[in-house]
Amino acid sequence: METDNAATGERFSPEVLGFVQLAIDQAKLALDSLEVPVGCVIVEDGNVIAAGRNRTNETRNATRHAEMEALDVLLVQWQRSGFSAAEVAEKFSVCSFYVTCEPCIMCAAALSIIGVKEVYYGCANDKFGGCGSILSLNSSSSEACISSKASQVMGYSGFSLDMHALVLPVKPCHGFAQLNLLKGPERRSSILVQMSFCWDGHVFTEDCSYNHKFISWFNLIIR
């Protein structure tokens, strides 16, 4: 039995909704840990290969969003399996991401750069959304590409989702990402970094404290 999204005409299979439920389960774990309840699972060939939840409060690191956590789990697995950079890029192109909330600008840009196959997400992110709410980093255009008239698809014990399916480009669009190390004292395992995104002629810059693990990961995906 498929579930309809009346606003968009999209239909979601039980398999898709099952993966959504797994992402919600991760979000519940985040909530239990006093985090913003966002969860993510990564699927390849119908199998969940990684999962993550928001851990920004736990780690005191603003970059540890659910998508980044799941990506780190996956990259460790692939590194242990001895995959080359080319093989990793090819594998990303067949991976689907299921997230309970629209990826933020940082996460949406990262997913676009690494060229994932598609992203399913639930509620819109009207403050930091990178898939249409604020910026449309899943598109070569800076215009919003997501309908704001989303219909409720399914409720899960207090959670409700407005489902959309997005296809992110495999190859880079009209933009680039750059990380610049800034002068300043190190804070434990973190360093101060300036992240800049140029998209269709618009430059967005943010100064944040990132850990070394993220810097290594980001350098890997933009090579």
Q: Mention every residue, 6+ apart, whose C-beta is less than 8 A from residue 25.
A: 39
What CATH number corresponds to the domain at position 38?
3.40.140.10
Burial class (CB in 10 A: 0-12, 13-18, 19+), 127: exposed
Q: Is residue 207 part of a domain?
A: no
Q: Is residue 150 part of a domain?
A: yes
* 136 and 92 Cβ atoms separated by less than 8 Å: no
Is residue 67 annotated as a catalytic residue, yes or no? Answer: yes
Give the pLDDT confidence score for residue 38 in this predicted structure. 92
Give the pLDDT confidence score for residue 214 in this predicted structure. 41
The pLDDT of residue 148 is above 90: no
Give the pLDDT confidence score for residue 138 in this predicted structure. 65
Q: Is residue 120 part of a domain?
A: yes
Q: Is residue 108 part of a domain?
A: yes
* 145 and 138 Cβ atoms separated by less than 8 Å: yes
Measure the CA–CA gap between 19 and 46, rounded to whole angstroms: 9
Q: Is residue 51 part of a domain?
A: yes
Q: Is residue 130 part of a domain?
A: yes
Q: Is residue 147 part of a domain?
A: yes
Helices (H) and strands (E) in the chain, counts: 6, 12
Range of 146's domain?
3-173
The structural domain count of the chain equals 1
Active-site pick, 67, 102, 118, 143: 67
Q: Is residue 216 part of a domain?
A: no
Mean pLDDT of 98-125: 86
